[in-house]
Amino acid sequence: MSNPIFFTIPLIAIPILYWAYTYPKNKYKQTNLVLYVHDNHTGDDKSAMTIAGKDGPTTSIMHFGTLLVHDASVTLGPDPGSKEVGRAQGMYINSQLDGKALYMIFSIMFSDGDYKNSTLEIQGADPFVLKEREFSVVSGTGYFRFVRGYGIMTTEFLDIQNKRAIIKLNITVRHF
């Protein structure tokens, strides 16, 4: 047992184990994005419409069971005239019996800016009566491959009469 190999193996193995344990933690990138979604449910420039519900396609999104499809402008600033970087395309389903929460599932499809041609997939609950709602970012494509993260959603502007809203999304994601 005087062979020096028995003493050198632990000396090599310990640093390798340490490296293997700590290395993957530093591999991801973290990106923060602040975006504004413009949802107009009326007018010539309407970007959202209800398509099914308890009273047919015209049922209000405020009722349990209503399905709404949207293709909304996504901009860098709260002003609808600020730079459009993509569209939010997907749907909202009113999925709370008292009507006070939506289930949302949509893609943010970037068409301009730093993340052009990439997408983020948003999924989760939107209890819109709350000031701040946290949602999950479940995946993405392009720059955002293997993405995961969360976002905080706040209603920046709401015109109930004309069904227009500006929603702020503050998204934090980790990806490679």
Ligand X SMILES: *[C@@H]1O[C@H](CO)[C@@H](O)[C@H](O)[C@H]1NC(C)=O
Binding site for ligand X (CB under 6 A): 34, 38, 40, 45, 47, 72-73, 80, 116-117, 152, 164, 170, 172
Nearer to ligand X, 84 or 95 (CB): 84
First to last CA, the chain: 47
> Alpha-carbon distance 51 to 64, whole Å?
13
- Least gap, CB of 45 to ligand X (angstroms): 4
- Least gap, CB of 130 to ligand X (angstroms): 16
Nearer to ligand X, 41 or 128 (CB): 41
Nearer to ligand X, 44 or 98 (CB): 44
> Alpha-carbon distance 48 to 153, whole Å?
18
Nearer to ligand X, 101 or 137 (CB): 137
- Least gap, CB of 74 to ligand X (angstroms): 9
Strands (DSSP E) contained in 48-163 are: 48-52, 67-75, 84-94, 102-110, 119-126, 132-141, 148-159
